[in-house]
Amino acid sequence: MTYAIDPQPLWTPNPATVGQTRMAQLIRAKGKANYAELWQWSVDQPEAFWSELWDFCGAVGEKGAQVVVDREKMPGARWFPEAKLNYAENLLQQRDDSEALVFWGEDKVKRRMSRAELVGEVARFQQFLIDAGVGEGDRVAGYLPNLPETLVAMLAATALGAIWSSASPDFGVQGVLDRFGQIEPKVLICVDGYWYNGKPVDCLAKNGEVVSQMPSLRKVVVVPYLDAAPDVSKIAHAVVWNDIPTVNPKKAPIFKRVGFAHPLYIMFSSGTTGVPKCIVHCHGGVLLQHLKEHQLHSDVRPGDRLFYFTTCGWMMWNWLVSGLACGATLLLYDGSPFADGGTVLFDYAAAEKMTHFGTSAKFIDAAAKLALTPGKTHDLAALRAMFSTGSPLSPEGFDWVYREIKQDILLASISGGTDIVSCFVLGNPVLPVYRGEIQCRGLGMAVDVVDDIGQPVRGQKGELVCTGSFPVMPVGFWNDADGAKYHAAYFERFPSIWCHGDFSELTAHDGMIIYGRSDATLNPGGVRIGTAEIYRQVEQLPEILEALVIGQNWPPGRSDDVRVVLFVKLQEGKQLDAALIDRIKKQIRDNTTPRHVPAQVVQVLDIPRTKSGKIVELAVRNVVHEQPVKNVEALANPEALEFFRGRPELAG
């Protein structure tokens, strides 16, 4: 079953303004007729493309004469081996009184910071890091909400050539130790607490426990959020952020220019199948990829107001903050996206004249279920683009955006991951938007879809791969000296080809449909089925808030076949009865194939998810098969797993 391809787009670029986009400018500059020609050139001649991109997007640093060494090695290519640059320096080029960021907290706190103020705060915190002995290659960790201080700390550390890593404060003690314990930071920045769903959550005791089990720490900084003067006396090495000494207001931060491949971020896999992998990303790769994705694919321009709903435990925070390098103002938010009756993010968009609104497919689904009509209730005149990621955006999600938010808007469904801290496939301001499709493959990314033996396929499902090296490939995994873990993660299935693990299809429009993760793909009777195909149908029923589907080994004890089992979370007060089960099965059968129809439909009270909101099919499958879930600390709601354990409906 594939999605029906709509012949007519939902949106087409305005002919009067499309030529002003940076993407259109690059197409003209390279003498290409359209995006397809530009993309083909970018993957056929990657040296020329990435060198041109450095100049076109205004990267600051010394590029060097050589673009790439051993390009055919994957992994192993070395990009811009002579370059010297600093990611933070590129984000802090502007140092005037224009707005660098706006912050809204769920607790009604609102703050603003100019670019000059941001630079001053970075210089202040950087001096603290220097005094703590932090230098090139040292790790600095943030256990923080999406606050202005988080951005300041990251910029101060990376400007020195230190390596930044972050996790959101809703992680439990073991979840933090599983991550930061592997990388041994010298400095930890944490928060006294945060707000969520109208409630304050105190973090001081948890912080103390984390610090007591992390012997590498020299200093701990506690950011006051719940309390103006938190008591940090029980946390070793701790000082309060506000007590850090000021510096001369004319003092500029130090920007240590490092090699292109010098580590910038250590990011973590979701960790739901074991201890999280520590993925190391570099200054040059992240900078060039984000400049490309912001300026070209997202049409972010100086003065734009860029928002993404994210925590600091999700790669979209790292993606968001790079918007400073384009001259955009960052709009930061911390708290529940459904505060104030579900409208807080649209309140923010209207009040701050948001130009780019980033969120998850699950948020769009939930807003549709709540029957929100932000296009009617809010002034969204400034909004030009909306981004969606985290899971596949259903065709009905596309419909809701164009019906209830705005007709003239670029809806960019995007997909990539923590593995590349960016996108393989994403939006494009010069291309039409088709229902249910991601618009295009990213420039410089040799993305393809292949069958089980590695042969390219078009118009049918297969594995999403990248067949050529690119600068934002991880430089490696932390504590993986021989590269064995890195190789196993991406290159084991198809030698010298990056296999990303998405079950996908290239369409007639040269767009992409993602059907779900390959490792969660169902395989009843030997036919591969993407989980997104089932979710799309089930979640159209008004009684159903959310669903999760797995393949259960069937009969029990065998592993050569599976049956499809669907779990549903219903609207409050609703019960799963025979009539609703029949409607669910009919909806799936009528719109997909008989093989998609679940053998069992089971009601649960909640669906387990990661901290970034992704549902965890594999963890549920392990519970159903009485296998251990190796890292429940990675889940936002681990207690939900109990709803799936020992269900009589699933017994033999």
Q: Residue ranges of the alpha helices (H) in 469-548?
A: 484-490, 531-538
More confident residue, 275 or 244: 244
Establish if 266 belongs to a structural domain.
no
Quick check: helix, strand or coil at residue 354? coil
- CA–CA separation, 275 vs 123, rounded Å? 35
pLDDT at 272: 57
| Alpha-carbon span 253 to 644, nearest angstrom | 52
If one counts every other C-beta atom within 10 angstroms of the C-beta of residue 498, the result is 26
- Reading the block at residue 282, the tokens are 């570099």
pLDDT exceeds cutoff 50 at 564: yes
pLDDT tens sequence across 431-481: 999 999 999 999 999 999 999 899 999 999 999 999 999 999 999 999 999
201 part of a folded domain: yes
545, exposed or middle or buried, with CB in 10 Å at 0-12, 13-18, 19+? middle
Considering its fold, how many domains does the chain have in total? 2
- C-alpha 380/C-alpha 267 separation (Å) is 34
Q: How many residues does the chain have?
A: 652
Question: How many percent of the chain have pLDDT more than 70?
Answer: 98
Q: Which one of 218, 238, 256 terminates a domain?
A: 256
In a domain, 500, yes or no: no
Confidence at 215, pLDDT banded by 50, 70, 90: very high
Domain C-terminal end among 198, 231, 256: 256
Q: Reduced to 3 states, what is the DSSP secondary structure of residue 371?
A: coil
Q: What is the mean pLDDT of residues 253-261?
A: 98
What is each CA distance from 230 to 193, 222, 312, in whole angstroms?
A: 10, 8, 22
Q: pLDDT tens digits, residue range 405-425? A: 999 999 999 999 999 999 999
Specify the pairing of strand 476-477 against strand 498-506. unpaired
- The token duo for 126 is 């950087």
DSSP 191-208: ESEEEETTEEEE-HHHHH
Report d(CA 640, CA 636) in Å as an integer: 9
| Helix segments in 470-616, DSSP class H | 484-490, 531-538, 578-591
The three-class DSSP label of residue 253 is coil
Q: Which of 567, 578, 577 shows the shortest CA–CA distance to 539?
A: 567
Tokens of 369: 């279920």
Write the pLDDT tens digit of every residue in 371-408.
999 999 999 999 999 999 988 999 999 999 999 999 99
Q: In this predicted structure, which of 97-106, 231-240, 458-467, 591-600 has the lowest mean pLDDT? A: 591-600
The predicted-structure confidence for 576-623, as pLDDT tens digits, reads as follows: 999 999 999 999 998 888 888 999 999 999 999 988 788 999 999 999
* Any domain includes 557: yes
Cα separation values, 371 from 120, 337, 374, 650, Å? 44, 15, 10, 34
**Burial of 302 from C-beta contacts in 10 A (0-12 / 13-18 / 19+):** exposed
Whole-structure pTM value:
0.90
Q: What pLDDT does residue 175 have?
A: 87
Range of the domain at 213: 99-256
- Please compute, for residue 596, the number of CA atoms within 13 A of its CA located in the half-sphere on the CB side: 23
Residue 251, pLDDT > 80, answer: yes
Check residue 267 and give its pLDDT: 97
* 394 inside domain: no
* Of residues 275, 281, 313, 269, the one with CA closest to residue 166: 313
Q: Which residue has the tokens 């006396």?
A: 233
Q: Are 331 and 337 in contact (CB under 8 A)?
A: no
Best CA proximity match to 91, nearest among 59, 114, 69: 59
Which contiguous run of DSSP H or E holds residue 468?
Answer: none
pLDDT tens for 279-297 read 999 999 999 999 999 999 9
- Residue 218 Cα to chain centre, angstroms: 31
Nearest to 101 by CA among 88, 83, 113, 89: 113
Q: Which pair of structure tokens corresponds to residue 310? A: 């994210």
Q: What pLDDT sits at residue 603?
A: 97
Q: Are 360 and 390 in contact (CB under 8 A)?
A: yes
Residue 6 has pLDDT above 80, yes or no: no
- What CATH number is associated with residue 582? 3.30.300.30
In whole angstroms, what is the distance from residue 529 CA to residue 522 CA? 5
Q: Is residue 5 predicted with pLDDT exceeding 60? A: no
CA angle (483 as vertex; 479, 485 as ends), nearest 5: 75
- Torsion angle, CA of 341/345/347/349, rounded to 10 degrees? -160
**Residue 466 within any structural domain of the chain:** no
Q: Are 533 and 1 in contact (CB under 8 A)?
A: yes
DSSP track, 283-302? HHHHHHHHHIIIIIIS---T
Residues near 304 by beta carbon (within 8 Å), at least 6 away in sequence: 323, 326, 327, 328, 329, 355, 356
In-domain check, residue 331: no
pLDDT band at 488 (very low <50, low <70, confident <90, very high): very high
Given this model, what pLDDT does residue 3 score? 47
**Residue 122 corresponds to which amino acid?**
V
pLDDT > 90: percent of the chain: 85
Average pLDDT, the chain: 94
Residue at which a domain ends, from 256, 274, 295: 256
Buried b (16+ CB within 10 A) or exposed e, 583-605: ebbebbeeebeebbbbeebbbbe
Name which of 86, 88, 166, 163 is nearest 121 in CA terms.
88
**Buried b / exposed e along 383-420 (16+ C-beta atoms within 10 A):** bbbbbbbbbbbbbbbbebbbebbbeebbbbbbbbbbbb
Q: Is residue 280 part of a domain?
A: no
Q: Identify the bridge partners of residue 102 per DSSP, sorted by sequence position.
A: 112, 331
Q: How far is CA 416 from CA 11, 388, 457, in A?
A: 23, 12, 20
CB 631 within 8 A of CB 275: yes
Our CA dihedral for 503, 505, 506, 512, rounded to 10 degrees, sits at: -70
| pLDDT score for 269 | 85
Greatest extent of the chain over all pairs of C-alpha atoms, in Å: 73
How many of the other CB atoms lie within 10 Å of CB of 272? Answer: 22
Interacting residues of 514 by C-beta distance below 8 A, sequence separation 6+: 392, 415, 425, 438, 464, 502, 503, 504, 530, 532
